[in-house]
Chain A
């Protein structure tokens, strides 16, 4: 209980100061709204269903892209982690492709898929696969070599080796990578919607901005933070809280 309250101190303080500045008239009203106005705008968009629909649309594509990236990233990452030679051969190509921003492929993806889920999911997948890949390779390489030797001594078949030894041992680190990727997935999905795709939260954000509903725009930004926070909480609990925070406490 106490832990929950401590966490709220800073946000509540910020909100109070913000509202105060707003009421004193110090804020540039056409660019920054008061928290009370933002709350009202948020409430209205919740009631009329538009917020939830947009949230679902964004979530849908982010999740799809993330799943594709996780599958591809973990599979290839495990392979490259277990076979250093393969990693050295493919490494330079991966390092050359990785820094190209996923959003740079938007025109291409638009031509291939047109507006819709596939456009966004493909960009999200491209953006998320690299961190997952890197973290997985690192995680597999960090596996205690004796564990792998045990697997060889027992002559375990490959699937069992992966499932029983490699993945569990690498899981904690892979999970950190997945958490980073999940945040990236949400951000990239919203970015694609801001720039291009007429669906989801990013699209509604731009609509609010262009129709000069500043309070609504900020309400949607806050909402983005809220769902991102909830998403991370869910992911953290999947990984196991004790693992994430170690034994320092």
Chain B
């Protein structure tokens, strides 16, 4: 117990020293405070916005978009990944096209998305899903294609249908890979949420940051970044818990 507490304290101390370094660099004024505010100013803004309540709407809007977009990406990614990873025909048909589309940056896709879907949440979610699907997809393909052949033999002996094989044998085997892919996808989903908000003035943290930068309110900008960091940190922590649970179950 004591060791764990010491580790936690050390982690806190490390984080605190990073913040102090930031404060020190900001006070050196190597870069104008217009572009590089100190943590104290940024936190002041954060507290102010929490007090007047203007923080909750953008925070919840961004979180919701991120989660929904990520879920869309995850479901699609695992489904397609399972198909490709376990069927050679599917891989030959789909893989080249998917590999071709993958390098497209979301910022380049946004104009087309706006054309068809307007300045709506649907547009934002589509773009997020488009960009966040790839890590899950790649990881799922890797996971499903690394299933031990012995499991396939066993499922044939037991008379499993393809569905049952995928669900009961391949999926659990691929789960560790899929989970790590899901984590990276979540990070990308957050980034793309921010990018789409910036490009389409949808209310959220991304828009707040973008606007703060334009109005030369650097403390607001960095306050928004801190919030983003907290949001991402929380999301990642939650998915880590999920990952540990599923891996533990798998090892039984």
Contacts and interface: CB of A to CB of B under 8 A. Distances in A.
- A190, A209, A231, most chain B CB atoms within 10 A: A190
Given A88-B11, A99-B231, A247 B18 contact: no
Interface in A86-141: 88-93, 95-104, 107-108, 111-112, 130-131, 134-135, 138
A8 interface: yes
Contacts of A97: 229
Contacts of A93: 11, 14-15, 18
Contact of A96 (B88, B195, B230): B230
B158 interface: no
B184 A134 contact: yes
A92 B180 contact: no
Contacts, number: 184
The bracket for how many chain B residues form the interface is 35 or more
The bracket for how many chain A residues form the interface is 35 or more
B96 A180 contact: no
- B95, B111, B148, most chain A CB atoms within 10 A: B111
Interface of A: 3, 6-11, 28, 31-32, 85, 88-93, 95-104, 107-108, 111-112, 130-131, 134-135, 138, 176, 179-180, 183, 186-188, 190-191, 194-195, 202, 205, 209, 221, 224-229, 231-233, 244-249
Given A103-B195, A187-B105, A228-B102, 15 more contacts: A89-B10, A97-B229, A99-B190, A99-B232, A102-B191, A107-B221, A108-B31, A131-B184, A190-B105, A190-B107, A209-B111, A225-B101, A228-B100, A244-B142, A248-B147
Interface of B: 7, 10-12, 14-15, 18, 31-32, 35-36, 85-86, 88-89, 92-97, 99-108, 111-112, 115, 131, 134-135, 138-139, 142, 144-149, 152, 180, 183-184, 187, 190-191, 194-195, 209, 213, 221, 225, 228-233, 235-237
